[in-house]
Amino acid sequence: MKNDIILCGVGGQGILSIAAVIGLAAVENRLFLKQSEVHGMSQRGGDVQSHFRLSDNHVYSDIIPYGQADLIISVEPMESLRYLPWLSKKGWLVTNSNPFNNIPDYPPLDEILTEIRKIKNNIILDADATAKEAGSVRAGNIVILGAASPFIEMSFSSLENAIRKLFTRKGEEIVEVNLKALRAGKSFVNQ
Amino acid sequence: MKNRLLLGDEAIAQAAIDAGLSGMYAYPGTPSTEIMEYIQLSGVAAGRNIHREWSANEKTAMEAALGMSYAGKRAMVAMKHVGLNVAADGFINAAITGVNGGLIVVSADDPSMHSSQNEQDSRFYGKFALVPCFEPSDQQEAYDMVFDAFELSEKYKTPVLLRITTRLAHSRAGIIMKEHPEPEKKLKLPSDPLQFVLLPAIARKKYKALLTSYESLKYDARISKYNSFNDAKKRDIGIITCGIAYNYLMENIGSSSKNYPVLKITAYPFPTDLIRDITARCSEILILEEGYPIIEESLRGFLDDGKKIHGRLNGAVPRDGELNPALVAKALGMQVSTGGKVPVVVRNRPPSFCKGCGHADMFTALLEAVKPYGPGHVFSDIGCYTLGALPPYNAIISCVDMGASITMAIGAADAGLFPSIAVIGDSTFTHSGMTGLLDAVTNNSPITIIISDNSTTGMTGGQKSKATGRIEQICAGIGVEREHIKVIVPLRKNHEENVCILKEEFEYKGVSIVIASRECIQTAIRRKKAEASNE
Ligand SMILES: Cc1ncc(C[n+]2csc(CCOP(=O)(O)OP(=O)(O)O)c2C)c(N)n1
């Protein structure tokens, strides 16, 4: 088994919590894992990405070869397109529909969505609204993770366990909100 | 067996703790910063009271680590690659004095310049200083090598360079850790009281000894176990990989790796006998180095009339930038997989000032104040404020090396540029701006220095800045006249007043300092969160 995932968004949008959940779940599943990210300059409102490589065998390269990602998980629509050179022909693209507009020439949203819909396997969802329904506007990331969960080759319950581990420190209420967000994301895809 | 998911940087830090480290010394710099940060957050490090404060710059860090080594304890010093330029004097001379307690120097290179001014290859420094160098190919090797590096350091009484690159530093992998950490070493002074006294007569002897031990180092087991040659039946092309390049090779040849003779190098001085071995057996050689073509140049020599060699120097691999699986596939003549193209609607999203950043308001005031003089007057430095080079500000004309804003402003003023202005951050100022300021004061240079003081080392993630709250005092102590040390608060509501102050100081024909003081917005948010959770 091999599962190559690109996680992307804008610096400050907190893709790190998604990364942490997948990482914890991978450890629980005793998978080999490499997760590479770029820190530093790129965090000041610039584009950020993280490469996740899960496998039941030793993983060599820290970065995913072009055309081999099974999944792009994006918390921002335009950013989801930046990594198409990595996406395999059979890969899935799961993205939030809410733009993060911090540049003067941000393109019209419908042009972006049109491009995303050209990808055979795409899922676009309003994660912010779903998160709000789940009880916290800040759980949008986890909603997206939920929507991507069918394409992550680990059991859903191991993602749930990872969320429990990650958020325990912040109290039971936060854990529940995030579990709800994860499930809401998943049921969006299942509908 | 303990297994933890760690960044390459964190694996190095954890290994150092497990190897009985007594002192960690560093100045922040991407991609090395997380080594010190991990030790600062470690409960074990706190329990043992391992030294773990940031240093003022890489040179002070290097020398303090050497001092700890003098006292017989294990020390590590970490920096980004350009930091080794700052620390080079101490580093190269430490090779000649030698060490007492084990000393590891971590230098984190940044090929492709994800967040750096250049992509220099620290392995050159190892060769230059005649110091052994480890270059791990993955995070587990990075962990394991720290133990060997300390032992090698103590056996040969030499500092050991640990060269890593961005991809290894900032990528997580599962690490198998030692069950039981080693105890720290006891205080024990060197047996030779003159070991660290590099008077010429002593230095000459020590240098001869260094030359001899560098030769024997090559054959030490701790070096040679990290260099391995796997022969194959098919010998059309032999492949030499250095450090992380090995992973990109294996990613491509994976299951068919038995078809290629491969020499994997992760420790230096590199083994000429192994290189002779592979070159003698194979018709052609492909060499994959993450960084400069150091081994490739040696292989080719000046005449380059031997065996056909493919690498960065003949275009088989690009001359600059980091490697990746596709570049290596191409060099192997394999088919390169590709995904889709990036659609044209995708725009660049360059980094920018955070909302509510004081640097931005400082630049707005500065631009208005400097306007009458035309463009070309504002030197700057390295930090978040370097973003002032980008639109809409286009406010600065330089970013060279830490501290260079002040000294370049001095030189330009000497040449007759007026006004000559420097913009520097608080941490950069204490890193290497203060000495330049002393030059300015003794010359009475007609320059204005704006210290954009956000009370933190912002660019690298908000580490403690050395002189928070004391910058005025420091400037006065160095000799700047009190009436030309002005403090402004860069906020929009103070704009008019700030412009006036700047204009006045630009016109002054001596050294003037304007401290634009406002806490970094990111630090402020973190501080408020921490305060709230403490209540
Ligand atoms: C010799 C050297 N060491 C470290 C760095 C990494 N570095 C770049 S900017 C910076 C921090 C600058 O802090 P400060 O001057 O306070 O400015 P701020 O980012 O807070 O605006 C550091 C450590 C470097 N580029 N060169």
For chain B, what is the radius of gyration of the CA atoms? 25
Measured in whole angstroms, the distance separating CA B313 from the mean position of its chain's CA atoms is 25
B494 and B455 housed in the same domain: yes
Q: Could you tell me the pLDDT band of residue A45, with boundaries at 50, 70 and 90?
A: confident
Window A:99-118, CB contacts with B under 8 Å: 102-103, 105-107, 111-112, 115
Q: Which residue has the tokens 């081999």?
A: A68
Window B:42-61, CB contacts with A under 8 Å: none
Q: How far is the CA of A133 from the centre of ligand 1 (A)?
A: 42
Examine residue B507 and state whether it is found in any structural domain, yes or no: yes
Shortest Cα distance from A123 to chain B (angstroms)? 17
The per-residue pLDDT string of chain B (535 residues; one tens digit each, 9 = 90 and over) reads: 678 899 999 999 999 999 999 999 999 999 999 999 999 999 999 999 999 999 999 999 999 999 999 999 999 999 999 999 999 999 999 999 999 999 999 999 999 999 999 999 999 999 999 999 999 999 999 999 999 999 999 999 999 999 999 999 999 999 999 999 999 999 999 999 999 999 999 999 999 999 999 999 988 999 989 999 999 999 999 999 999 999 999 999 988 888 899 999 999 998 889 999 999 999 999 999 999 999 999 999 999 988 999 999 999 999 999 999 999 999 999 999 889 999 999 999 988 899 899 999 999 999 999 999 999 999 999 999 999 999 999 999 999 999 999 999 999 999 999 999 999 999 999 999 999 999 999 999 999 999 999 999 999 999 999 999 999 999 999 999 999 999 999 999 999 999 999 999 999 999 999 999 999 999 999 899 889 877 6
Tokens of B281: 């057996």
B306 and B402 housed in the same domain: no
Examine residue B531 and state whether it is found in any structural domain, yes or no: no
Examine residue B43 and state whether it is found in any structural domain, yes or no: yes
- Give the range with max mean pLDDT: A34-48, A76-90, B268-282: A76-90
Instruction: Name, in order, each residue with C-beta under 8 angstroms of B103's C-beta and a sequence gap of 6 or more.
Output: B65, B66, B69, B74, B75, B76, B77, B94, B153, B159, B160
B427 Cα nearest atom in ligand 1: 16
Among B388, B351, B460, which Cα is nearest to B80's? B460
- CATH for B260: 3.40.50.920
Q: Which residue of B has its CA nearest to A36?
A: B171
The number of residues making up chain B comes to: 535
B235 and B201 housed in the same domain: no
Tokens of B465: 């800045």
- CATH for B376: 3.40.50.970
**Alpha-carbon gap, residue A172 to B137, rounded angstroms:** 41
**Alpha-carbon gap, residue B502 to B486, rounded angstroms:** 9
pLDDT of residue A43: 65
Examine residue B131 and state whether it is found in any structural domain, yes or no: yes
For chain A, what is the radius of gyration of the CA atoms? 16
Best residue of A61, A95, A120 to probe chain B, by most B CBs closer than 10 Å: A61
Helix axes B139-156, B8-18, angle to 10 degrees: 40
Domain-terminating residue out of B224, B244, B278: B224
Q: How far is the CA of B34 from the centre of ligand 1 (A)?
A: 15
**Alpha-carbon gap, residue B410 to B283, rounded angstroms:** 57
Q: How far is the CA of B265 from the centre of ligand 1 (A)?
A: 33
Q: For chain A, which residues make up each domain, given as ranges?
A: 2-189
Cα B110 to Cα A78, B30, B35, B321, B341, distances in angstroms = 27, 8, 15, 9, 26
B19 and B41 housed in the same domain: yes
B301 and B440 housed in the same domain: no
Q: How far is the CA of B381 from the centre of ligand 1 (A)?
A: 8
Q: How far is the CA of B108 from the centre of ligand 1 (A)?
A: 15
B30 Cα nearest atom in ligand 1: 6
Q: With beta carbons less than 8 A apart as the criterion, state whether B278 and B240 touch.
A: yes
Taking the Cβ of residue A78 and every Cβ of chain B, the question of whether any pair is shorter than 8 Å is answered with: yes
Secondary structure string (H, E, C) spanning B180-223: CCCCCCCCCCCCCCCCCCCCHHHHHHHHHHHHHHHHHHCCCHHH
Q: Before B372, cis peptide (omega within 30)?
A: no
Assigned CATH class of A2-189: alpha beta
B399 and B503 housed in the same domain: yes
Q: How many CA atoms are closer than 13 Å to the CA of B188, on its beta-carbon side? A: 12
Instruction: Please tell me whether residue A58 adopts helix, strand or coil conformation.
Output: coil
B297 and B419 housed in the same domain: no
B99 and B26 housed in the same domain: yes
pLDDT of residue A41: 57
Taking the Cβ of residue B386 and every Cβ of chain A, the question of whether any pair is shorter than 8 Å is answered with: no
**Alpha-carbon gap, residue B41 to B463, rounded angstroms:** 13
pLDDT of residue B255: 80
B120 and B192 housed in the same domain: yes
Examine residue B174 and state whether it is found in any structural domain, yes or no: yes
B494 and B400 housed in the same domain: yes
Q: Is the CB of B402 under 6 A from ligand 1?
A: yes
Q: Whose CA is nearest to atom 4 of ligand 1?
A: B29
Instruction: Name, in order, each residue with C-beta under 8 angstroms of B384's C-beta and a sequence gap of 6 or more.
Output: A44, B353, B357, B359, B425, B454, B458, B459, B520
Examine residue B288 and state whether it is found in any structural domain, yes or no: yes
Q: Is the CB of B86 under 6 A from ligand 1?
A: yes
Examine residue B341 and state whether it is found in any structural domain, yes or no: no
Segment (H or E) for A19:
helix A16-28
Residue type, A174: I
Best residue of B164, B248, B334, B345 to probe chain A, by most A CBs closer than 10 Å: B345
Examine residue B100 and state whether it is found in any structural domain, yes or no: yes
B378 and B305 housed in the same domain: no
Window A:1-20, CB contacts with B under 8 Å: 10-12
The strand ranges marked E within A38-167 are 47-55, 69-74, 87-96, 121-125
Shortest Cα distance from A169 to chain B (angstroms)? 12
Instruction: Please tell me whether residue B424 adopts helix, strand or coil conformation.
Output: strand
Q: Is the CB of B241 under 6 A from ligand 1?
A: no
Residue type, B178: K
CB contact under 8 A, B349 and A27: no
Among the partner-chain residues A41, A65, A89, the one whose CB lies closest to the CB of B325 is: A65
Window A:140-179, CB contacts with B under 8 Å: none
Between β-strands B227-230 and B262-265, what pairing exists: parallel, antiparallel or unpaired?
A: antiparallel
Cα B3 to Cα A155, B37, B149, B407, distances in angstroms = 21, 20, 22, 49
In chain B, the number of structural domains is 3
Q: How far is the CA of B203 from the centre of ligand 1 (A)?
A: 35
The strand ranges marked E within chain A are 2-10, 32-37, 47-55, 69-74, 87-96, 121-125
Helix axes A140-148, A172-190, angle to 10 degrees: 40
B12 and B148 housed in the same domain: yes
pLDDT of residue A42: 57
Neighbours of A120 (CB within 10 A): 10
Instruction: Name, in order, each residue with C-beta under 8 angstroms of B151's C-beta and a sequence gap of 6 or more.
Output: B102, B222
pLDDT of residue A188: 93
State the residue range of the domain holding B436: 358-524
pLDDT of residue B277: 94
